[in-house]
Amino acid sequence: MPELPEVETVRVQLIDKVVGKKIKGVEVFHDKTVGFDEDFEQKLLGKIISDIGRVGKLLFFSFKNESDLFMLAHLKMTGQFFYVSKNEVVTGGGHSMTENDMREFPGRHTRCAFYFADGTSLYFNDMRIFGYLRLVDKPGLETAKSGYGPEPIDPDFDIDWFLQKLKRRNTNIKAVLLDQTFVSGLGNIYVDEALWRAKVLPERQASSLSKREATALAVASKEVMLESILKGGTTFQSFADTEGREGNFRDYLKVFGRQGQICERCGGEIKKIRVAGRGTHFCSKCQR
DNA sequence: ACTCTTGTTAAAAC
DNA sequence: GGTTTTAACAAGAG
């Protein structure tokens, strides 16, 4: 389940692997993935990838000498980009891949393939078909980007603004942190982790947080995501990087998936409940 | 057969 | 208009 750290991991790897490459062929295996754009392949033929940006969990590809064409890419829950270098025998290694996927690309869940002029290729796999690839013009890119709030990892993230906004939100803090139009990048895993670090219960009303708690939460959100990026993200059920490897931050999770275990900070029991419609993990003793 | 998993969004309620 | 809640989406794991 890719959140900001996982998407950033993919972005950095993709930049290293496909920027500067010319698209020689495109194959769409599932129309919904490309928004039923019948010209998807044709629009990309001959284009050279010049950069890959990110806002929140959304990636956007730019192309050389094309100021009005961009490809948005959202992994949603099970989207994965796999890069295959030429002549490489793909045996795969990610535990999330089915045996079919491990044997060859394209595999059962491959929704789109990009073939480059140098013989390498990039596959977009997405088991549940929630993810998408979309071609947009410059205004379309701006519209997409405008829907995202600031990222806690941004050096310019304004904690005072964060404090003031929280006071006006009339729902639980978990739902607020999951709202990408408010702050972007956090998903179910990192929200639970940030709340644990800040010692705040997920069901607390956002407006009830003290200045100290809200500040701790902003700092915790930033730190947990930055630390995860350094570990290549978290693999819980399905995340894999561009080579099919898992992320290594899973070992550093303090509450997510640890229901029934003991909190390493206070010895309390980690519980799992449902908040904001999501499985929610927290320490029943040291989070308040 | 049934429940659970989650990022985003549409729709409806307020 | 902004906020909030809920369901829907899809497919697999258990």
> Token pair for residue A183?
């702050």
- Residues A70 and A135 sit within 8 Å (Cβ to Cβ): yes
pLDDT at A98: 35
pLDDT at A97: 40
State yes or no: pLDDT of A195 exceeds 80.
yes
State yes or no: pLDDT of A250 exceeds 90.
no
Digit-coded pLDDT (tens) for A79-138: 999 999 875 545 444 433 433 334 468 888 899 999 999 999 999 999 889 899 999 999
What percentage of chain A exceeds 70 in pLDDT? 93
Q: Is A285 a catalytic residue?
A: no
| Mean per-residue pLDDT, A234-258 | 80
| Mean per-residue pLDDT, A258-284 | 91
Q: Is A17 a catalytic residue?
A: no
Digit-coded pLDDT (tens) for A217-245: 999 999 999 999 998 777 776 678 888 77
Amino acid at A288: R
Q: Which residue has the higher pLDDT, A100 or A154?
A: A154
Q: Is A57 a catalytic residue?
A: yes
| Mean per-residue pLDDT, A6-12 | 92
Shortest-distance nucleotide from A76 CA to C1': B7
The rounded distance, in Å, linking the Cα atoms of A254 and A270 is 9
Digit-coded pLDDT (tens) for A165-194: 999 999 999 999 999 999 999 999 999 999
Catalytic residue, from A21, A47, A54, A57: name it.
A57
Annotate chain A with three-state secondary structure. CCCHHHHHHHHHHHHHHHCCCEEEEEEECCHHHHCCCCCHHHHHCCCEEEEEEEECCEEEEEECCEEEEEEEEECCCCEEEEEECCCCCCCCCCCCCCHHHHHCCCCCCEEEEEEECCCCEEEEEECCCCCEEEEECHHHHHHHHHCCCCCCCCCCCCHHHHHHHHHCCCCEHHHHHHCCCCCCCCCHHHHHHHHHHHCCCCCCEHHHCCHHHHHHHHHHHHHHHHHHHHCCCECCCCCCCCCCCCCEHHHHCCCCCCCCCECCCCCCEEEEEEECCEEEEEECCCCC
pLDDT at A282: 93
> Token pair for residue A102?
């491990």
Residue nearest to nucleotide C5 (CA to C1'): A276
Q: Is A274 a catalytic residue?
A: no
Q: Provide the positions of strand C that have an atom within 7 A of a protein CB.
A: 3-13
Shortest-distance nucleotide from A108 CA to C1': C11
pLDDT at A100: 33
Distance A87 CA to C7 C1' (A): 46
